């Protein structure tokens, strides 16, 4: 398999994972908001999962659309190995 195909597959998988997680995030938090409004409208506890889970979804967005190459574990690993090899040569 070509390198371009592998890279395209990785990027496509990141985007698919983001879309799935974002969809689940919206649906679950909407349900939680309804439950919160019906049973404890005086205290909006639903903001905690919205905010903290939202941070995770936002990170997934960044990985998929803004910095797709920065989060490639194999490239990062190879880069760090090269850095260590350079240090050892000195």
d(CA 66, CA 74): 18
Q: With 70 as the cut, is the pLDDT of residue 1 above it?
A: no
Between 5 and 61, the more confident residue is 61
Residue 12 has pLDDT above 80, yes or no: yes
Q: How far apart are CA 81 and CA 66, in angstroms?
A: 25
How many domains, in total, are found in the chain?
Answer: 1
Residue span of the structural domain in which 52 resides:
3-89
Could you tell me which of 9, 25, 30, 31 has the C-alpha nearest to residue 60? Answer: 25
pLDDT of residue 28 exceeding 90: yes
């Amino acid at each position: 398999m070509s390198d371009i195909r592998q890279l395209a597959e990785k990027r496509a998988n990141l985007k698919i994972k983001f879309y799935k997680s974002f969809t689940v995030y919206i649906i679950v938090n909407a349900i939680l908001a309804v439950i919160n409004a019906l049973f404890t409208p005086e205290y909006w506890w639903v903001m905690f999962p919205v905010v903290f889970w939202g941070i995770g979804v936002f990170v997934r967005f960044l990985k998929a659309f803004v910095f797709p190459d920065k989060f490639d574990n194999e490239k990062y690993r190879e880069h760090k190995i090269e850095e260590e090899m350079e240090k050892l040569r000195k």
